[in-house]
Chains A and B, each alone.
Chain A
Amino acid sequence: MSSIITIRNLKKHYPIFGGVFKRRVASVKAVDGVSLNIFKGETFGLVGESGCGKTTLGKTILRLLKPDAGNIFFDVPESIINEVIELERTNPKSKRLKLLRSQYDIATFSGERLLRLRRRMQIVYQDPTTSLDPRMLVKDIVAEPLVAQGIAKGEEARKLVVDILKKVGLGEQHLYRFPHEFSGGQRQRIAIARALVCRPEFVVLDEPTSSVDVSVRAQLLNLFKDLQKELNLTYMFISHDLSIVECISDRVAIMYLGKINELAPTYKIFKNPMHPYSQALIASVPIPDPKKRKERAPLTGEVPSPVNPPAGCRFHPRCPLVMDVCRKEEPQLFEVEKDHYVACFAVAKR
């Protein structure tokens, strides 16, 4: 399987300004050294509690935010990625590295090149009420990416818009309406149509179902699955609802305080979570079957602030398996089984 997205050691820190001269006094380490691959045609689930950096990671991959460090490769041959990584390790100041990065690494892109890239990667936001302009007609909302990208205008654009609206379950009769005339589920469909109208290859779905009801949620999830098959899409599905992620993703990464703790195929991670945090997270999902009710010890304490994350493993103050080494050193992701990556010293010792 070839990967469509490869990110290496990605960092995004939000500055906090303070003092008389409004200097940078600290930073919120929203994404702090994340590496992962997303394969072509898969649905990559990203889960974690609120404030762990899921959305920031998604936006940084799309370059809606500029990363502070790290590489992002989009549809780049593996040999070049390997060369860049090798050069960064051995000779970080070489001209060859600079050239390669400016050509292939999205983290360095700007202006025109970024615009062209955006045609191939899109995002659907959490709340369609705020992500759709209330003063624009549906036909303008959905046609906007076409116009901005210079793909189509006028009658031609209209055809493409109607085409994509039909694909998401709306129709021509909806063209001349405003977003407020639609229900929540329909609004999300408009947002999906807007994201897909210029036929991207990679779409970030940022909690797309958390603002709709249970019965509508299933409709949207089915729509995502159908569209993926039809348009050959790769999804990054960000959510805090583990039961949905379990059903829709092929692989899942669990994030905690800006780091990935565990990454594995869905069936493995839900059947046999290895990181203590993943175990606690998966165990705390309520199961809709009263017979499987169980008394369990939930995770104690609260998520620490990402401004001053704990030294060593970030989970150590709440971890039941904490050891001395956890307080000092930061664990790195390593492959426990095939395709199953965990960042934990306790698991490594086993």
Chain B
Amino acid sequence: MTEDSLVAVKNLVVKFYTYAGVVEALDGVNLKIRPGEILGLVGETGCGKSVTSFSILQLVPPPGRIEEGEIYLNVGGKTLDIRSLPKDAIRQIRGKDIAMIFQEPRAYLNPVYTVETQIGEALLTHRKNEFLQKAIEALEKAGKKSSFEKRVYERMLKKPKSLVTKIMAKFCRKKTLMKEVHKEVVELLRSVEIADPERVAKMYPFELSGGMAQRAVIAMALSCQPLMLIADEPTTNLDVTVQAQILNLVRELRKTFKSSILYITHDLGVIAELCDRVAVMYAGNVVESADVYELFEAPLHPYTKALLESIPKPGEEFKSIPGTVPSLINPPKGCRFHDRCQYEMDVCRKIKPEFIEVKKDHFVACHLYGGSK
């Protein structure tokens, strides 16, 4: 399962220890993302979509804890076990190999820094040496071969950890370096189709509209050309016309950067428009995953079927799923969907169905399809 995938999540269990009780947010999630594909993750509110993505980046907020499971990342021929990596190594992965876009862009941008500063920070964290090199070259071109600035940059390249370098860096205004970063930021903003990037780069987040702020966040996420991009409901708060613009942008970016994208949403329309494969989540479990055409044409799990039927169609009665999403503090035993399922059997109440491959690349967790084996 791990060989052909970029990220593989196996049997992930996450629990939140709250005062009200233990919330079993994820109950054995299996997921894999192949290089270059867009995987859609759908589900209703509180089904664990976001927790899954946070787990991949080891960002599960307390009182949540990853209890069990493995997360693998394949980078450059090596397989990294993310859960056993030290903190420093994970920081290297975050933002560089795996970047993330959130639902509310303005909440994730710092209100007191300009767009340029914030995107520049990501660039200087992960691609500092590259920019130092560029700055040195620029200074050489300008004929300032032995200037203080150039000496500082050279030291920062060779001995970044020495105390003298740090002191020297403090006394240097690093104008050339910032100029290089600025150029790259403007380039990035242009690549996410922001009109007048020079002006936008100098703006503060409150000056941007929702769509622009989301573009700025996408530019930040793309600044290090990540192998994988996690997009957590990036268009939920936007209008349909802006959403269409952002979706087009995501499609374009996949072509140019060749990143994999994990696209989290509750909108089946967006999934159908954008994704290659889909994973459907319900109450902390991935219940079905398949190719997008296959899933929309021949869904297997009763929940997926009900979800697809609940899409309003003109001239028809609205179909709903009876009952409500169960509380995850005391989730139903066995299959978590059994009390809303019309095909409920005895075994569903007792044994949790396994996530098995029914057809090629079509996984389902349901007793109807032999999930009890």
Q: How far is the CB of A69 from chain B (nearest CB, A)?
A: 28
A221 interfacial by beta-carbon distance below 8 Å: yes
Residues on A with beta carbons closer than 8 Å to the beta carbon of B315: 247
What's the minimum C-beta distance from A211 to chain B, rounded to whole angstroms? Answer: 10
Given A218-B312, A298-B245, residue A240 in contact with residue B239 (CB < 8 A)? yes
A287: CB under 8 A from chain B?
yes
Give the residues in chain A near B44, CB-CB below 8 Å. 213-215
With A216-B324, A242-B240, A299-B241 known as contacts, the answer to whether A247 contacts B313 (CB < 8 A) is yes
Q: Which residue of A lies closest to B315 (CB)?
A: A247
Q: Are B239 and A215 in contact (CB under 8 A)?
A: no
Q: Which residues of A contact B75 (CB under 8 A)?
A: none
Among residues of B, the one whose C-beta sits closest to the C-beta of A289 is B272
State which of A74-82, A142-150, A277-285 sits at the interface with chain B.
A277-285
Of residues 253 to 272 in A, which have CB atoms within 8 Å of B's CB atoms? 266-267, 270
Q: Are B273 and A293 closer than 8 Å at their CB atoms?
A: yes
CB distance from A247 to the nearest CB of B (A): 4
Which residues of chain B are near A110, meaning CB under 8 Å? none
A280–B296 touching, CB < 8 Å: no
Question: How many whole Å from A46's CB to the nearest CB in chain B?
Answer: 15
Cα distance A240–B239 in the bound complex, in angstroms: 8
Q: Is the pair B320, A286 in contact by a Cβ cutoff of 8 Å? A: no
In contact, B45 and A213 (Cβ under 8 angstroms): yes
Docked-complex contact A288 and B324, CB < 8 angstroms: no
The reply to whether B273 and A221 form a contact with Cβ atoms under 8 Å apart is no
B241 touches A286 (CB 8 A): no
Beta-carbon nearest neighbor of A212 in chain B:
B45
Cα-based distance from A7 to B241 in the complex (angstroms): 29
A50–B268 Cα gap in the complex (Å)?
Answer: 21
In the bound assembly, the distance between CA atoms of A280 and B244 in angstroms comes to 10
| Given known A-B contacts A215-B321, A291-B293, A247 and B268 have beta carbons under 8 A apart | no
The complex places the Cα of A50 from the Cα of B267 at a distance, in Å, of: 18
Query: Which of B248, B308, B318 is in CB contact (< 8 Å) with A222?
Result: B318
Instruction: Specify which chain A residues have a CB less than 8 angstroms from the CB of B324 in the assembled complex.
Output: 183, 185, 216
Q: Is the CB of B320 within 8 A of A284?
A: no
Which of B239, B270, B321 is the one whose CB lies under 8 Å from A50? Answer: B239
- CB of B209 closer than 8 Å to a CB of A: yes
CB pair B244–A243 under 8 Å, yes or no, is no
Instruction: Tell me whether A91 is interfacial, beta carbon within 8 Å.
Output: no
B247 CB contact (under 8 Å) in A247, A266, A286: A286
Q: Is A247 touching B318 in the complex (CB atoms < 8 A)?
A: yes
Which residues of chain B are near A154, meaning CB under 8 Å? Answer: none
CB of A18 within 8 Å of the partner chain: no
Q: How far is the CA of A280 from the CA of B293 in the complex (A)?
A: 26
From B45, B240, B267, B318, contact of A221 by CB (8 A): B318
Within the assembled complex, what's the spacing in Å between the Cα atoms of A102 and B326? 54
Q: In whole angstroms, what is the CA distance A296 to B245 when docked?
A: 10
For the complex, give the distance between the alpha carbons of A280 and B315 in Å: 23
Asked if B240 contacts A218 (CB within 8 A), the reply is: no
Q: Contacts A49-B239, A243-B312, A284-B243; is A290 near B292 (CB within 8 Å)?
A: yes
Q: A239-254 interface mask toward B, CB cutoff 8 Å, 1 = contact, 0 = none?
A: 0101110111000000
- When distances are taken between beta carbons in the complex, the residues of chain B under 8 Å from A59 are none
B317 interface contact, C-beta 8 A:
yes
Q: Using Cβ atoms and an 8 Å threshold, which residues of chain A touch B312?
A: 218, 221, 243-244, 246-248
Q: Which residues of B contact A293 (CB under 8 A)?
A: 272-273
Minimum Cβ distance to chain A for residue B38 (Å): 12
> Nearest Cβ distance between residue A180 and chain B, in whole angstroms?
13
Distance (whole angstroms) from the CB of B256 to the closest CB of chain A: 16
Interface size on B, residues (CB 8 A): 43
Given contacts A214-B44, A243-B312, contact A288 B292 (CB under 8 A): no
Q: For the complex, what is the distance from the CA of A148 to the CA of B240, rounded to whole Å?
A: 40
CB distance from B170 to the nearest CB of A (A): 41
A2 in the interface (beta carbon within 8 A): no
| A25, B223: Cα distance in complex, Å | 42
- Is the beta-carbon distance between A218 and B313 smaller than 8 angstroms? no
Which of A216, A246, A288, A298 is B272 in contact with, Cβ under 8 Å?
A: A288
Q: Give chain B nearest CB distance to A55 CB in angstroms.
A: 14
A156 at the interface (CB under 8 A from B): no
B296 to A288, Cβ gap below 8 A? yes
A219 contacts the other chain (CB 8 A): yes
Does residue B368 face the partner (Cβ distance < 8 Å to A)?
A: no
Q: Is A8 an interface residue when CB atoms closer than 8 A count as contact?
A: no
A217 interface residue (CB < 8 Å to B):
yes
Chain A, residue nearest B320 (CB)? A218
* A contact residues around B143 at 8 Å (CB): none
Residues of A close to B310: CB separation below 8 A = 214-215, 217-218
Of all chain B residues, the one with the shortest Cβ separation from A48 is B239
Query: Which residues of A are found within 8 Å of B320, using beta-carbon distances?
Result: 215-219, 222
Q: Which residues of A contact B313 (CB under 8 A)?
A: 247
Counting CB contacts under 8 A, is B93 at the interface? no
A217 to B306 CA separation, bound complex (whole angstroms): 13
Residues 330-362 of chain B, each 1 if its beta carbon lies under 8 Å from chain A, else 0: 000000000000000000000000000000000
| A-B pairs with beta carbons under 8 Å apart, 12 shown | A49-B241, A216-B320, A218-B321, A221-B318, A247-B315, A287-B273, A290-B293, A292-B272, A293-B272, A301-B195, A302-B209, A302-B242
17 more CB-based (< 8 A) A-B contacts, given A240-B240, A270-B314, A281-B241: A213-B45, A214-B307, A214-B310, A215-B44, A216-B320, A217-B320, A222-B317, A243-B312, A246-B312, A284-B241, A284-B243, A285-B240, A287-B269, A289-B272, A290-B292, A291-B293, A292-B272
A contact residues vs B (CB 8 Å cutoff): 49-50, 183, 185, 213-219, 221-222, 225, 240, 242-244, 246-248, 266-267, 270, 280-281, 283-293, 296, 298-303
Query: Chain B: residues with CB nearer than 8 A to chain A?
Result: 44-45, 195, 209, 211-212, 239-245, 247-248, 266-273, 292-293, 296, 306-308, 310-321, 324-325
